[in-house]
Chain A
Amino acid sequence: MQLHDWCFNRLSRQLMNIILFCLMVLLMVTPCHAASHQKDTLVIGKISHNPKKHYQYLKPMAKYVAERMTDLGIEKIKIRLAKSKEHLADLLQQGEVDWVTETPVAAAYLNEVAGAEILLRKWKKGVAQYHTVFFSLSGQGIDRLEDLKGRVIALEDPASTSAFYAPANALIQRGLKLVRLDSARDEPPANAVGFVFSREEINIATLVHKGVVDAGAFSSDDWVKDDHLPKKYREDFEIFHRTPDMVRALEIVRQDLDPKIRQRLSEILLDANANPAAAPVLRAYQRTAKFDQLTEDQKQSIYNLRNMIKAVDQAVVW
């Protein structure tokens, strides 16, 4: 019996040691394993206020690119939608997002905060570049930006490139002060330009047409679209200023993305221009006509938009 007890105790101790050892290994290894990022998945990200719609246009592109990266060990491309540029910058910094399709203003921000780099230009909705048009009802005596002093302009929303940052910057550069009004019917200060956000282009056009505000500004792309600016409104308007052209949209990548993947992504997107199999994919991808490369100078001028963002954010009285 004693021998049996001895054997039993010894076996129990051995068993306990094995279990404890296994637990130690498990505790040490688990976090390390979880922290290591397996790169069999590439992630495309975008700032989104309409995630259902954005998912539908990103999905065909994700599938198209993934199918052409299998030899690099990429099995899948996932989509990651972020609510703000700050959130997207976090995701890029942490390696949770590898590739982003965005506007030049977002590209400048993501470059500054997360070091993200421009890969290619995207001819979003068939357009390589666009600019902002300032318009008012004809015969209102507004011929130049300086005439807006003491008047009200309608803009889109604080995230818009062509209908906020670019027009606000044009006004600031002329030494005009910008003050946000609570309502379009509020009186602006006599020495400043009052502005209101009206969310959509059609609202901007309607406010101007009804004479509620004195002027509006949005992209040259929207100026010619009847659902954003009905023909009968356009006939009553006149453009009194245009900003310089800027790039319409960009493909951006994480700074430390594997160079092979980065290179392949660029090749796949450039090849899509002439690949019939890519036609429905490009159409879904915000009706992109093609992708092309930018020079380093062009990229730098986009990164320099951060100065415009800062200037606007600092100068505007919110």
Chain B
Amino acid sequence: MVKRNLLILILLLPCSLFAGSTQMNSSSAASRDDNFSSTRGGLEIVSSDGEFSATLGGRLLLDAAYYDEDKNSLGNGTELRSARLEMEGRIYADIIYELSVDFADGDADMKDAWLAYDAYHPWRFTLGHFKEPFSLEELTSRKHLTFMERALPNALVPGRNMGLGLHWYGEQISVAAGLFGDDYNDDSDDEGDEGWGGSTRLTYAPLATDRSVVHFGVSASHRKLDDEEEYRVDSRPESHLTDIHYLDTGKIKQSRTLTLVGLESAWVYGEASLQGEWIASNLERDDAADIEFSGWYIQASWFPTGESRHYKSQQARFGRVNPLSEQGALELALRYSTLDLNDQDVEGGSSDQLAFAVNWYYKPQLRFMMNYIVVNNDRYADADGDVENEDEPNILQLRAQLDF
């Protein structure tokens, strides 16, 4: 009986294997060329059902600055402004993630580190370390900013923190909101409770075509500060190479809550564009009057070579400029920005800056930038007493930028 069964089994085995191989052949089209891979300098792999994907990329920003000094030494030189590796992808159809680390300062600085649930288009739920929804300029990637550095009022903006957020977009409107703790890179020796707060941004773009955009936005943020109850805002001139933060409030003790409000607008008409923001903060203290800071900027840009700034309506921010010709795109831009950190007993200083930019986008992923900045500081702008006040240097800075 056993022998007979063994014989049948042996006879059946090739049939079964053949049946299996037929099955394999029948699905040869399915298994053939299963994944997509491509490169634009980085590496992208996508499964044939799209449910899994991974993109490895990064950026390199190489800066040089010459300071036409007035009273203080600012330190001419060169630096790696950003040397970042970025990994983003999708798993099991509905989960997307991003992990990016910047090594420019010689150590690993965590940037985006989040995962998001993407099952309910156009809703997206995000958890991790990412930018709070506040300010058009802050949410636009540094890769796609018109100027080398963000304008002065950006010092008030919350930036990246650990939190959870919800984002939704419609045809003309986008809404983002989130609850956040402190920055991932917060001091681990601090034993007190972290601060926490919420931010929200609402945008409305009645016009958002390829070359014509009208954009309005409003942001608000409220935060309970951590147990140390100290608040400090400081800002370099619009140049990162110097370490001097002319504007510096020092530590403002017994600070309880911080409220921020921002208004933003942008207009693109073909080669020309305008963009402006106003940001104000209110700091509530335990036993003293509230402190209020504010700043604003306005910028204009023009592409003599015919390109247009690229507005990404889903995220309500600006993206990559694609040159129209092999010679690349040329952009000229002008910006005025101001930030006032003086109020009541706090003398953090005030500064006005006028910046002129020439950008040459040689390829979509390679551009060269030149900024010339005229700085005008007031008598309190002394880096919290560390440098001479009323300094009025001029700055010439250059950047080569590559992303892949």
Decide: A80 and B49 in contact? CB cutoff 8 A. Answer: yes
Contact A284 B121 (CB under 8 A): yes
Q: Is the CB of A225 within 8 A of B48?
A: no
Asked if B9 and A23 make an inter-chain contact with CB atoms under 8 angstroms apart, the answer reads: yes
Known A79-B51, A225-B210; further 4 A-B contacts with Cβ < 8 A: A31-B16, A51-B50, A81-B36, A227-B210
Nearest B residue to A27 by beta-carbon distance? B16
B36 close to A280 (CB less than 8 A): no
Among A63, A91, A206, A231, point to the contact of B30 (Cβ < 8 A): A91
- Given A58-B50, A59-B50, A51 contacting B36 (CB threshold 8 A): yes
A14 to B95, CA, bound (A): 51
Q: Could you write out 9 A-B pairs with CB less than 8 Å apart?
A: A20-B8, A28-B12, A32-B19, A48-B36, A51-B50, A55-B90, A83-B36, A91-B30, A230-B324
- Chain A, interface SS category: helix
In Å, the complex CA distance between A253 and B215 comes to 41
Known: A17-B1, A280-B170. A79 touches B49 (CB 8 A): yes
- Interface contact B2-A20, CB-CB below 8 Å: yes
**Contact between chains at B30 and A94 (CB < 8 Å):** yes
Any chain A CB within 8 A of the CB of B188? no
B262-276: which have CB < 8 Å to A?
270
Give A96's nearest chain B residue, CB to CB. B30
Contact of A115 with B by CB under 8 A: no
The answer to the question of A241 belonging to the interface, with a C-beta cut-off of 8 Å to chain B, is no
Contact between chains at A35 and B26 (CB < 8 Å): yes
Q: Are A87 and B53 in contact (CB under 8 A)?
A: no
Say whether, besides A17-B5, A27-B13, A226-B270, A80 and B48 are in contact (CB < 8 Å): yes
User: B residues engaging A (CB < 8 A)?
Assistant: 1-2, 5-6, 8-9, 12-13, 16, 19-20, 22-23, 26-27, 29-30, 32-33, 36, 44, 46, 48-51, 53, 55, 90, 93, 119, 121-122, 170-171, 209-211, 270, 306, 308, 322, 324-326
In the complex, which residue of chain B has the Cβ closest to the Cβ of A61? B121
Cα distance A80–B46 in the bound complex, in angstroms: 11
Contacts of B122 in A (CB 8 A): 60, 280, 284
Across chains A and B, the number of contacting residue pairs, with CB separation under 8 Å, is 120
The chain B residue with its CB closest to the CB of A58 is B50
In Å, the complex CA distance between A16 and B2 comes to 7
Please, which residues of chain B bring their CB within 8 A of the CB of A35? 19, 22-23, 26
Q: Is A90 an interface residue (CB 8 A)?
A: yes
> B10 to nearest A CB, angstroms?
11
A281 proximity list for chain B (CB < 8 A) = 121
Q: Indicate which residue in A13, A34, A78, A232 contacts B1 across the interface (CB closer than 8 Å).
A: A13
Give the contacts of A74-96 with B (CB-CB under 8 A).
Answer: 78-83, 87, 90-91, 94, 96
A170 interface residue (CB < 8 Å to B): no
